[in-house]
Amino acid sequence: MVPVSYYILLSGVLFSIGVLGFLIRRNVIVVFMSVELMLNAANLAIIAFARNIGSLTGQVIVFLVMTVAAAEVGVGLAIIMMFYRNKKSVNVDDGNLMKW
Amino acid sequence: MDLSLMDINWRVILPEITLAVFGFVLLLLEAFLPKDKKRITGHIAWIGIVLSFLFCLNLYGTQLSSFKGMALSDNFAIFFSFLFLISSFFVILQSLSFLKREEQVRGDYYALILFATLGMILMASTLDLVVIFLGLEIVSISLYILSGFRKKDLKSNEASLKFFLMGAFATGFLVYGIALIYGSLGTTNLEKIFILIPLTETTLPGKDFLLYAGIGLLIVGFGFKIASVPFHMWMPDVFEGAPAPIAAFISAGPKSAGFAALLRIFLLAFSSFKPDWILIFWILSVLSMTTGNLLALWQTNLKRLLAYSSIAHVGYILIAFVAGGNSAISGVLFYLSIYILMNLGAFAIIISMGSKDREGTDLFKEYAGAGLKNPFLGVFMAIFMLSLSGFPPTAGFLAKFYIFSSAVKSGYLGLVIIAVINSMISVYYYLRVIVYMFMKPAEEDIKPVSIPFSLGLVILVTGIGILAFGILPQPLLDLAYNSIF
Amino acid sequence: MIDNIWLVPLLPLLGFLINGIFGRKLGKNLVSWIGCGSVGLSFLISVKVFFELLSLPAEQRIFEKIVFPWIYSGFFKVNISFLLDPLSGVMLLVVTGVGFLIHVYSVGYMYEDNGFSRFFSFLNLFIFSMLMLVLANNFLLLYLGWEAVGLCSYLLIGFWYEKKSASDAAKKAFIVNRIGDFGFALGVMLIFWTFGGLNYTEVFQQAPSILVAGGGLVTAITLLLFMGAVGKSAQIPLYVWLPDAMEGPTPVSALIHAATMVTAGVYMMARCHILYELAPFTLGLVAVIGAVTAIYTASIAMVQNDIKRVLAYSTISQLGYMFLGCGVGAFAAGIFHLMTHAFFKALLFLGAGSVMHALSGELNMQKMGGLKGKIPVTFWTVFAAVLAISGIPLFSGFFSKDEILWKAFSQGNLLLWLIGVICAGMTAFYMFRLLFLTFFGKSRVDESIKSHIHESPKIMTVPLMILAILSVLGGYVGIPKSLGGGNNFEHFLSSVFGEKEMIIHHSAFTEYIVMIISIGVALAGIFFAYRFYISKPELPKSLAEKYNFPYRVLLNKYYVDEFYFKIIVNPLLKFATFLWQFIDIRIIDGTANGLAGMVNWFGGIGRKIQTGYVRNYALGMVLGVILVLAYFILK
């Protein structure tokens, strides 16, 4: 059996990729996908822990997190659409009206 | 599955159920009501709030627990539910005339406010990290939509997008934090965590780092929610871009909900780790109040100014986490109650001063001379600003004094000195609002604005509340003191 | 009646509410009746209460009345409650009495103003706040009154907010005061931290046992409280707001910036005398700051031409005397001077207001002169006040000022005493200069207003006359023993300050000598003023012209006068101008502005972080995450 630490390491790497993606990419959709990657990294960690502890709670938590992620996708894409309609752009850096 | 084995008491979540039912009804009404009838949606919304409030009132003092501690009705939960419901009630009152002016009277707007309120109540009345997370997401997702409610307005779009992206980003950290805590302790129940932690340190030395990282990530996640520096940057932009009632809402309810969760997590579950995290809260507190106040000095937009002021107030409230103890917790409850009143009142005045074509600018210069033309607005704005700056005999002074003195009592004199210096700096920009309203000549000939009944009511009630609690704080203090978990 | 002491502050509060809410609809007559009536009634109650207090035996003259519990929660108990003892009794009479007279005067002075009802509601609010400050029996309530009087002062200085200078002055006053209040707030916090409570009785009873005399803690507490007093009572270096505060209406200057609010610092120190007596270092500092402020601002007053500014600097200087008194431990003498000063300085301001009233708002003394016969009531009352403040024997200021100087001398503080005496001479000089320039000599009034110079109406002159009587007779409550009096005032206050049997180092004869010296110095000041502004009115002007040519000046035929002028007065005048021009405006204002600028600058840098790009916001957050995690790892 693969030890739990491998899973955690993998999830940590995925999470970091997500964070870096958020910082580096400019396309709003890709930025948003990076956030999803972060959430899924967390899911992976929870599943691995749940298996390690031997309880079902973790798996239920993952379902809840997935639901939340789905809701976020629903709302998020709508917001991005709205932004695109008014700005004709999906570049995050174009949202720069308000500062200081 | 045998349901009787499960620990279920529906009465505990009756306020939440009421809000959900009313929210769904409003969504349906939005779909099926003809346009000229939609006015009633706002009234249905506040009736739902009042009903939920009555159920909460009925629960006060029951100390029930249900769904294995995932929902409970201790006084702490009920106190916060009161706060949320009252602030949502005021926000709905503000929105009645605001939406009418915008010609955007819609049921889904109110439905989202009810859902957000539901999420906040969940956050405060649970002992489970996962439920806190769920509640937080319900609040956040509703707010993402609400802050982009002015669909044609570029600033509103941008506010919504920024809020959404940053919020989702913060959620990532929060979930990961919960994952790490679950992994290292095997539970997400706060009470169990509190019991387990002393054992963990001896039996699971290797997992210490996961636990600490989890705590750190929780601080980040909630730090975002309450907008503490350096996790605050979304807030000024969202305040500036979002419709004024929504900005008011964000500053009142969700922020308090974040504090409710933080209080439970750090002063209950991780209270035995206090020596470990106290320095972080000390730094967050100093950073928040200093940054908030310094940056507020430069603002020319009133909503943005209130955003920075809000960040500064977070710094003051965080002092209580450093101080700890019952007096600090009750100090937070008192502070939040007062803060909600003064902020909602100030925003109600901002809404009254706006007009459809000028919506979203809220520049200082638009307020020049306005206090003389509208003495009602001017006098109450002065009260709110004085209270925000912590000037006696307003309640804002007592709120500050109470938290500061609890910190002095616990021996954190240095932090209090920084806080007092900060609140002195803050006088300057709060005073500027008053100076603009009363002492600057108007740029053009302004007419007195007409104040709709619902807005006038909000201003009057919040303003009188601030003065009354400044002079007779005892009932509220008692309530706060009895509401400690 | 003593049980109903709460009526005293309540009445002005009611007046404020009624005038504030319905003022515009009530009409000016009703507004003035409510405004004056509420303060008048509370004055009558104060008198009654005061006599009830007097009828009690000395050791029972402390009375506490809990009105209602304010904060009662866990670790923290504070009441809205009042403390009546001889000290607050005296303050009560001064505040309501002088306040009432100024209210009445204002009816005439402000009658033409559009903001008549607003003015009276603010005045009433001020009286209420001041009474809360004076009557408080705990530090929190004191702080509340302390801040509230500051707020009223802000509102009233900026009363004519259309004038930019007025609203700027108001802002300056408020912000400078907040600097002092910051220290005061910290002091209160420190008291709470030390004693676990804020009640006077609690704190003062425990003080000797908890605090080490001369220790760091008590020094810190008293210094912080003193910082508040420096701001509120306009001492070096926070005095800068007071001269600017003259932008407010003259009755405001009389009430707030001469008679009552600015003396709050002295009152507070007298109230906390138990703490101050435990902190000799602070007391020394108080005395030095008081003395330096007194002479420094007196020198500035000598060259001012604006009548209200002369009075403003003079007020600061007199406050310096009171601080000097407190600093040498003569709290009773400080309070005594506070009282007499309230009489004669209020009178001077109101008199100046009456002069302005006669001259259509003229403030420049160079454009006055010869008014003696035209506005006789104003002249004679102001003359009485000038005699009082200059320390002429038999007038009230003589007794109180001399008491302070004598205390300073008898404790061996010769240098402080000397400064005080010189300052007394300067006071006499500038006050008589004011008197001579305004009322004597040839009229220099503009032709356009010359024709309608008129005496003020009765409603303004009667308060002047009453205050004049008080200025003359007010000192007789405290005639020192050496002059055959019983020093009743100090004796009366002794239940607060304790009966201090001062070891008599000096005989009554020394006291006479000291007294005669200060009288002599005062007379010298008057002599110079007379010489320069009456007998040789062209002298100051010609000297001012020749001041550029020192050699020719030496050859001048007014050799003796020139000599005096050159050696004593001129360097002093020059130094004073230098102080005023350079230190006052450049350094002190500059520092205040500089500090504000620095804070602002940091804000300007800081806000650049908020770039508006989501990715940068996220970067900020990630940095936060890294720091938090790094802390947990490295710990």
pLDDT of B5 reads 58
pLDDT at C145 > cutoff 60: yes
pLDDT of C549 reads 47
Judge: A49–B169 Cβ closer than 8 Å, yes or no. no
In angstroms, the separation between the Cα of residue B293 and the nearest Cα of chain C is 8
Q: Which of A60-74, B40-54, C307-321, C488-502 shows the lowest per-residue confidence on average (mean pLDDT)? A: C488-502
- Mean pLDDT, residues B364-370: 82
pLDDT at C26 > cutoff 90: no
- Mean pLDDT, residues C169-196: 86
Tell me phi and psi for residue C592, to 5 degrees.
Answer: -60, -45
Residue B358's pLDDT band (cuts 50, 70, 90): low
C399: Cβ–Cβ under 8 A, 6 or more apart, which residues?
C336, C340, C475, C476, C478, C479, C480
Neighbours of C75 (CB within 10 A): 14
Is the CB of residue B161 less than 8 Å away from at least one CB of chain C? Answer: yes
Residue B200's pLDDT band (cuts 50, 70, 90): low
Task: Provide the number of CB pairs (under 8 Å) joining chain A to chain C.
Answer: 29
User: C428 or C507, which is more confident?
Assistant: C428
Cα dihedral C423→C429→C435→C437 (10° resolution): -130
Range list of β-strands (E), C373-518: none
What residue has token string 């501690």?
B69
CA C390 from chain center: how many Å?
Answer: 17
Q: Which residues pair with C83 in a beta bridge?
A: C64
Is the CB of residue B295 less than 8 Å away from at least one CB of chain C? Answer: yes
pLDDT at C557 > cutoff 60: no
Residue C562's pLDDT band (cuts 50, 70, 90): very low
- Mean pLDDT, residues B467-479: 89
In angstroms, the separation between the Cα of residue C68 and the nearest Cα of chain B is 9
Judge: A38–B161 Cβ closer than 8 Å, yes or no. no
pLDDT at B48 > cutoff 90: yes
Tell me phi and psi for residue B148, to 5 degrees.
Answer: -100, 25
Could you give the C-alpha distances from C466 to C311, C346, C384, in angstroms and in order? 20, 11, 11
pLDDT of C290 reads 93
C304: Cβ–Cβ under 8 A, 6 or more apart, which residues?
C310, C313
Contacts of B137 in chain A (CB under 8 A): 68, 71-72
Tell me which chain C residue has its CA closest to the CA of residue B415: C186
Contact B332, B83 (CB under 8 A): no
Neighbours of C93 (CB within 10 A): 17
- Mean pLDDT, residues B324-333: 90
Probe site for chain A from B146, B151, B175 (most A CB atoms < 10 A): B175
Judge: C600–B215 Cβ closer than 8 Å, yes or no. no
Which chains form contacts with chain A, at 3 or more CB pairs under 8 Å?
Answer: B, C
Predicted interface score ipTM higher than 0.90: yes
Q: Does residue C531 sit in helix, strand or coil?
A: helix
pLDDT of C551 reads 38
**pLDDT, tens only, C283-295:** 999 999 999 899 8
Is the CB of residue A95 less than 8 Å away from at least one CB of chain C? Answer: yes
Tell me which chain C residue has its CA closest to the CA of residue B372: C161
pLDDT at B145 > cutoff 90: yes
- Mean pLDDT, residues B68-94: 93
Contacts of B291 in chain A (CB under 8 A): none
What residue has token string 């209580």?
B320
Tell me phi and psi for residue B262, to 5 degrees.
Answer: -60, -40
**pLDDT, tens only, B418-437:** 998 898 888 888 988 888 88
> Could you say which DSSP state residue C549 is in?
-
pLDDT of A5 reads 85
> Could you say which DSSP state residue C66 is in?
E
Nearest to C599 among B234, B294, B398 (CB): B294
Phi-psi region of A16 (alpha: psi -120 to 50; beta: other; left: phi over 0): alpha
What is the radius of gyration, based on Cα positions, of chain B?
22
User: B293 or C487, which is more confident?
Assistant: B293
- Mean pLDDT, residues B53-81: 90
Can you read off the two tokens belonging to residue C111?
A: 């009658």
Residue B1's pLDDT band (cuts 50, 70, 90): very low
CATH class of A4-89: mainly alpha
pLDDT of B201 reads 56
Identity of the residue numbered C559: Y
- Mean pLDDT, residues A12-18: 94
pLDDT of C590 reads 63
Is the CB of residue C568 less than 8 Å away from at least one CB of chain B? Answer: no
Residue C11's pLDDT band (cuts 50, 70, 90): very high
Is the CB of residue A92 less than 8 Å away from at least one CB of chain C? Answer: yes
DSSP run (H or E) holding B72: strand B71-72
What is d(CA C440, CA C442) in angstroms, rounded to the nearest whole number?
7
Cα dihedral B421→B424→B425→B426 (10° resolution): 120
pLDDT at B470 > cutoff 80: yes
- Mean pLDDT, residues C87-103: 93
Contact C403, C337 (CB under 8 A): yes
pLDDT at B263 > cutoff 90: yes
Is the CB of residue A70 less than 8 Å away from at least one CB of chain B? Answer: no
What is d(CA C614, CA B169) in angstroms, rounded to the nearest whole number?
11
How confident is the prediction for chain B on average, in pLDDT?
A: 89
pLDDT at B79 > cutoff 90: yes
pLDDT at B112 > cutoff 80: yes
Could you give the C-alpha distances from C278 to C139, C186, C209, C212, C493, in angstroms and in order? 18, 19, 11, 8, 19
In angstroms, the separation between the Cα of residue B299 and the nearest Cα of chain C is 9
pLDDT at C64 > cutoff 50: yes
Q: The pTM is what?
A: 0.85
CA B308 from chain center: how many Å?
Answer: 14
Judge: C612–A92 Cβ closer than 8 Å, yes or no. no
Residues 40-59 of chain A with CB under 8 A from chain B are 41-43, 45-46, 48-50, 52-53, 55, 57-58
Identity of the residue numbered C92: L
Residue C560's pLDDT band (cuts 50, 70, 90): very low
The domain ranges of chain B are 298-485
- Mean pLDDT, residues C11-15: 93
The domain ranges of chain A are 4-89
Phi-psi region of C553 (alpha: psi -120 to 50; beta: other; left: phi over 0): alpha
How confident is the prediction for chain A on average, in pLDDT?
A: 90
Residue C16's pLDDT band (cuts 50, 70, 90): very high
pLDDT of C563 reads 52
**C587-594 contacts, C-beta under 8 A, 24 or more apart:** C588/C237, C588/C240, C589/C240, C592/C175, C592/C176, C592/C240
What is d(CA B49, CA B43) in angstroms, rounded to the nearest whole number?
10
pLDDT of B298 reads 81
pLDDT at C425 > cutoff 60: yes
Could you give the C-alpha distances from B176 to A11, B133, B255, B392, C405, in angstroms and in order? 10, 11, 21, 44, 74
In angstroms, the separation between the Cα of residue A30 and the nearest Cα of chain B is 11
Q: At what angle do helices C458-473 and C86-109 cross, to 10 degrees?
A: 150
pLDDT of B57 reads 93
Contact B210, B204 (CB under 8 A): no
Could you give the C-alpha distances from C57 to B446, C88, C287, in angstroms and in order? 64, 17, 33
pLDDT of C554 reads 34
Could you give the C-alpha distances from C438 to B298, C230, C442, in angstroms and in order? 47, 32, 10
pLDDT at C223 > cutoff 90: yes
For chain A, how far is it from start to end, CA to CA, in angstroms?
53
Q: At what angle do helices A57-87 and B129-147 cross, to 10 degrees?
A: 10
What is d(CA C588, CA C244) in angstroms, rounded to the nearest whole number?
14
Residue A87's pLDDT band (cuts 50, 70, 90): confident
pLDDT of B340 reads 95
Judge: B172–A15 Cβ closer than 8 Å, yes or no. yes
Shortest CA distance to B116 belongs to which of B83, B92, B140? Answer: B140
Residue C576's pLDDT band (cuts 50, 70, 90): low
- Mean pLDDT, residues C203-228: 89
Residue C504's pLDDT band (cuts 50, 70, 90): low
Can you read off the two tokens belonging to residue B187?
A: 């539970």
- Mean pLDDT, residues B239-254: 92
pLDDT at C553 > cutoff 80: no
In angstroms, the separation between the Cα of residue A71 and the nearest Cα of chain B is 8
- Mean pLDDT, residues B389-396: 88
Contact C149, C157 (CB under 8 A): no
User: C584 or B214, which is more confident?
Assistant: B214
What is the radius of gyration, based on Cα positions, of chain A?
17
User: B72 or C171, which is more confident?
Assistant: B72
What residue has token string 């454009």?
C367
For chain C, give the number of residues: 635
What is d(CA B360, CA B414) in angstroms, rounded to the nearest whole number?
40
pLDDT of C595 reads 66
User: C174 or B222, which is more confident?
Assistant: B222
Tell me which chain A residue has its CA closest to the CA of residue B206: A5
**pLDDT, tens only, C426-452:** 899 899 989 988 888 888 888 888 878
Is the CB of residue A80 less than 8 Å away from at least one CB of chain C? Answer: no
pLDDT of B10 reads 86
Shortest CA distance to B424 belongs to which of C383, C180, C330, A90? Answer: C180
Q: Which of A34-43, B396-405, C562-571 shows the lowest per-residue confidence on average (mean pLDDT)? A: C562-571
Shortest CA distance to B435 belongs to which of B482, B383, B382, B471? Answer: B382
Contact C66, C155 (CB under 8 A): no
Judge: C70–B474 Cβ closer than 8 Å, yes or no. yes
Contacts of B70 in chain A (CB under 8 A): none
Shortest CA distance to C281 belongs to which of C347, C223, C358, C360? Answer: C223
pLDDT of B361 reads 64
How confident is the prediction for chain C on average, in pLDDT?
A: 84
pLDDT at C603 > cutoff 80: no
**pLDDT, tens only, C453-503:** 888 888 899 999 999 999 988 888 888 777 766 777 888 888 788 766 554
